[in-house]
Structure 1
């Protein structure tokens, strides 16, 4: 069923491949501010968040590339993509033959963009978009994932603190937890181990420089 979100996204984005992840096609925009204003105007809502879903951010691109370069990490595994945005990280896991991927994303525009991007890449099976709060450690659903992925999520407080606690809880339970981060201000300084780094081409209206060094990190158990 076509929704207002679906129509808006297809009308105001183009289907294109991010520079570091040519294997995927995403519905992306060219200018954040313009799209944001158009979103508020068309949806008659001035309290909408910035359209993070319409851009392939450096952290997401790098983590997606790392998964595609190391497909054995996710092959046959159940994966959770936190703060999924466009879905680039989870899509890379599906392309690398993960058994299933769940996308955690509360923005309805982002959720719809993930659905469209799944369809555009013929990856619609074995996935779910979680639009509510994350399952707590004592819930059944919390135990269903093998690997947790988080691309470019440490840009605001106190959200960053909550995400770190959540990622740490999964690491403490023995799960592989990977982060892609280009040096965001609230990225944790402890409890992580660097695995790799990429130089990611990014638009200058999103980042300060056209090339952004972005690192892949593993969350270390805290006990």
Structure 2
């Protein structure tokens, strides 16, 4: 391949794709070396999380999460053997999105749903509970895929299809609805999501729902100009304390034509 034949933008996108692919390969190799079987993975998650979820916006849902009773709640971060365990926290944007789906099952009943950055799998599970025809939970952390399967079993629903490839920038043909809970926490990521979601909507007429508690990269981003507000939820006290005083979380529909 000759980079000189590509435009600067094409070259940048290609390099970013190569970096993502390499990082994914390293993660998966490290993961498989540490855990030779699915049984070992499940045991590790069970030993380092607790059943939680009652003090959230979806108390009817059981989830394996980090709690103050877990070793790595206070343990030094460098002792954690993998990437940051975002899947072990029930983020307030994801809580609002899951609550909204549970309150409005018609949004996803019979639909093909993609939960992007699915983490613990709560929104994917909510979509399953509400009767979605097909659900994909996408998170680049392999542990998130396993904990999503475990959480699905806890809630007595068939696990969604779990994918660990980075789907941002791909062509998600066949999805009626894309869910993003607390994904606009970084400005560069927000830029990537904005461009990709525009393409998804314009190409496939995909419906996009976003859950966010008002984080600065989201509030100050151009994407806010294209959002229709659907709901606001008061966060439980413990969720406020764990999220530096954030008090509410909102659900928005992304609609570039607004």
Q: Which one has a larger percent strand, Structure 1 or Structure 2?
A: 1
- TM-score bucket (shorter structure): 0.7 to 0.9
Q: Which runs of 5+ in 2 are unaligned?
A: 1-36
Does the aligned pair in 1 maintain the 2:48–2:71 contact within 8 Å?
A: no
Mapped partners of 1:144, 1:38: distance in 2: 43
Q: Which one has a larger percent helix, Structure 1 or Structure 2?
A: 2
1:134 corresponding residue in structure 2: 167
Does the aligned pair in 1 maintain the 2:113–2:136 contact within 8 Å?
A: yes
Mapped partners of 2:154, 2:183: distance in 1: 24
CA shift digits 1:146-205 (9 cap, x unpaired): 000000111123122112222222222311100000011211332211111111124455
Matches within 5 A, 1:39-78: 41=79, 43=81, 48-78=82-112
Indicate how the Cα distance of structure 1 residues 198 and 41 shifts in structure 2: closer, same or farther if over 3 A, else same.
Answer: same
Mapped partners of 1:166, 1:23: distance in 2: 33
TM-score, normalised relative to structure 2:
0.75
Indicate how the Cα distance of structure 1 residues 106 and 200 shifts in structure 2: closer, same or farther if over 3 A, else same.
Answer: same
Q: Which runs of 5+ in 1 are unaligned?
A: none
Which residue, 207, 215, 223 being the options, matches 2:243? 207
The Cα of 1:20 is off from its aligned counterpart by: 1.1
2:207 corresponding residue in structure 1: 176
Indicate how the Cα distance of structure 1 residues 204 and 22 shifts in structure 2: closer, same or farther if over 3 A, else same.
Answer: closer
1:145 corresponding residue in structure 2: 175
The Cα of 1:4 is off from its aligned counterpart by: 3.5
TM-score, normalised relative to structure 1:
0.86
Does the aligned pair in 1 maintain the 2:92–2:239 contact within 8 Å?
A: no
Does 1:114 find its partner at 2:148?
yes
Indicate how the Cα distance of structure 1 residues 91 and 208 shifts in structure 2: closer, same or farther if over 3 A, else same.
Answer: same
Mapped partners of 1:38, 1:24: distance in 2: 29
- The 10-residue stretch of structure 1 (30-39 or 86-95) with the greater mean CA deviation from structure 2: 30-39
The alignment's C-alpha RMSD in Å is 2.4
For these two proteins, the number of residue pairs brought into alignment is: 214
CA shift digits 1:8-32 (9 cap, x unpaired): 2101111222421022110011149
Q: Which has the larger radius of gyration?
A: 2
CA shift digits 1:77-122 (9 cap, x unpaired): 0000011111111110100000111011001222211111111112
Does the aligned pair in 1 maintain the 2:190–2:217 contact within 8 Å?
A: yes
